[in-house]
Amino acid sequence: MTEKSMAKPLTGKVAIVTGATRGIGKGIALQLAKAGAVVYITGRTLKPRPDFPGCSLEEVSKEISENSGQCIPIQCDHSKDEDIKALFDRVKEEQKGKLDILVNNAYSGAKAITDNNGKPFWEQPTTIWDEMNNVGLRNHYICSVYASQMMVPRKQGLIVNISSLGGLAYMMNVSYGVGKEACDRMAADCAIELKKHNVAFLSIWPGAVLTEFTEQMMEGDHSDKGDSPGVSKEMVARLFANAESPQYVGMCIAKLAAGMSEIRFEVAFS
Ligand SMILES: NC(=O)c1ccc[n+]([C@@H]2O[C@H](COP(=O)([O-])OP(=O)(O)OC[C@H]3O[C@@H](n4cnc5c(N)ncnc54)[C@H](O)[C@@H]3O)[C@@H](O)[C@H]2O)c1
């Protein structure tokens, strides 16, 4: 092992992080690139937007390059099957079939959760199901199919679904929780079929994470109203008092990708 690859454990690895223009996806992309991986980032917004500074593919890509990382931005709307296919076709061609890490992070439900705060499921528009679970679940499955088609023949790879504690028990919104539990189940069931091909599939639950969006959300109205417990002002304050940084999840995934033996050692002695 060279001195350079020891310092950067993911040197030579190829990663895709979906929905990496802001929030947790951006944090994961920054950390995987810092660890040496070539990181493909996806999102819908290519050019900088004044209402969300720093949250475009061009800006995230520039930030990674300025920190000596390698980033390839690809505009992709993960609600469109043809965009998802084009993304994987391009990575396959450019990287000669090599893909080591897929992080299924893109999520389009954050605003719908806050817009419907306090309303029980029967008072919410039925379209909320797709807002939570089209990009945040169905798309994860499609990405995982294409990623596995590249990983299985090479007998290596790591796929991660970004999920939530909300998959375990009620949290905020019914469609949210059902989608998150399905993300966890997808990881567990796919992992059974991938195991003999030496490809791992995990579901990770970040804690409360302070992102561009959750910072805005904390300033909004969180009054307790309606039949749903929703998210109260007190709950938001309590949850976010010790919030994680968006890059914390990225550090965990970089460590996992670098080697399970190292993780076991650190857990045993922490
Ligand atoms: N923020 C938290 O406190 C927290 C806690 C636990 C779990 N999570 C989970 O982490 C994941 C990411 O959350 P976040 O807080 O970073 O959300 P976010 O809304 O800030 O970011 C989501 C990303 O997905 C992208 N995206 C949305 N729709 C897309 C589409 N159609 N095509 C391409 N990209 C699209 C957005 O542009 C953005 O880059 C979610 O699954 C969320 O449930 C978040």
- Say how many Å lie between the CA of residue 4 and the centre of ligand 1: 33
User: Ligand 1: which of 61, 107, 132, 138 to mutate, judged by most atoms within 8 Å of the beta carbon?
Assistant: 107
25 or 220, greater pLDDT: 25
Question: Ligand 1 atom 40: the closest Cα is on which residue?
Answer: 107
Question: Ligand 1 atom 13: the closest Cα is on which residue?
Answer: 24
pLDDT single digits (tens) 44-66: 999 999 988 999 999 999 999 99
The per-residue pLDDT for 265 is 37
Active site residue 176: yes
Domain count, the chain: 1
Question: Ligand 1 atom 20: the closest Cα is on which residue?
Answer: 23
pLDDT single digits (tens) 187-199: 999 999 999 999 9
Give which of 65, 21, 63 is closest to 41, Cα–Cα.
21
Work out the average pLDDT over 68-88: 98
Give which of 131, 157, 133 is closest to 146, Cα–Cα.
157
The per-residue pLDDT for 175 is 98
pTM listed for this prediction: 0.93
Confidence of residue 239 (pLDDT cuts 50, 70, 90): confident
Confidence of residue 208 (pLDDT cuts 50, 70, 90): very high
Confidence of residue 227 (pLDDT cuts 50, 70, 90): low
% of the chain at pLDDT higher than 90: 80
The per-residue pLDDT for 270 is 32
| CATH code of the domain containing 161 | 3.40.50.720
Question: Ligand 1 atom 18: the closest Cα is on which residue?
Answer: 23
112 near 176, Cβ under 8 Å?
no
Residue 79 Cβ contacting ligand 1 at under 6 Å: yes
- Say how many Å lie between the CA of residue 20 and the centre of ligand 1: 8
SS3 content of the chain, % helix, strand, coil (to 5): 55, 15, 35
Helix (H) or strand (E) segment spanning residue 158: strand 157-162
Catalytic residue among 40, 107, 146, 176: 176
The per-residue pLDDT for 52 is 86
For 245, the domain range is 3-269
CA distances from 193 to 183, 198, 254 (A): 16, 10, 24
3-state SS assignment for residue 215? helix
Instruction: Give me the interface pTM, i.e. the ipTM.
Output: 0.99
pLDDT single digits (tens) 97-112: 999 999 999 999 999 9
The per-residue pLDDT for 268 is 38
**Residue type present at position 206:** P
Residue 210 Cβ contacting ligand 1 at under 6 Å: no
The per-residue pLDDT for 43 is 98
The per-residue pLDDT for 221 is 57
Residue 133 Cβ contacting ligand 1 at under 6 Å: no
Give which of 193, 158, 191, 164 is closest to 179, Cα–Cα.
164
At 216, list the tokens: 């805005």
Q: Which atom of ligand 1 is nearest to the CA of 24?
A: 16
Residue 27 Cβ contacting ligand 1 at under 6 Å: no
